[in-house]
């Protein structure tokens, strides 16, 4: 099943962080915080302004983004968890560092 978000909404798949062990203590999954980084898997057409014009979104499919802890709504499609959020809930887009020689 595919999902197509409307207007300025985007669908995000969380990017799981590597498990870290500090001082030999393993943190159980139930105590871990959900990651606040994700990959955009679908985007809407854009934000509708009061005059009816649609402004395209700045994020695109494949972008890695940072979002707030309580952003979006959790959904589950075919056993995979996603978030649906508005573009204005995104804190920033992660871009690969430029390699300098």
- Over residues 81-85, the mean pLDDT reads 91
- Over residues 59-71, the mean pLDDT reads 88
Nearest to 10 by CA among 83, 94, 100, 68: 83
Domain ranges of the chain: 9-94
In sequence order, the β-bridge partners of residue 66 are 37, 92
Candidate CATH numbers 3.40.470.10, 3.40.50.300, 2.40.50.100, 2.30.33.40; the one for domain 9-94? 2.30.33.40
Entry pTM: 0.73
Q: Give the integer Cα–Cα distance in Å for 100 and 94.
A: 18
Mean pLDDT of the chain: 81
């Amino acid at each position: 099943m595919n999902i197509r978000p409307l207007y300025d909404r985007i669908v995000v798949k969380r990017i799981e962080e590597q498990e870290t062990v500090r001082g030999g203590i393993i943190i159980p999954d139930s105590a871990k915080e959900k990651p606040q980084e994700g990959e955009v898997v679908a985007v809407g057409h854009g934000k509708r302004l009061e005059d009816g014009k649609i402004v395209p979104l700045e994020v695109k499919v494949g972008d890695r983004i940072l979002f707030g802890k309580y952003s979006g709504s959790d959904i589950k499609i075919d056993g995979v968890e996603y978030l649906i959020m508005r573009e204005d809930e995104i804190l920033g887009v992660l871009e690969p560092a430029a390699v300098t020689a």
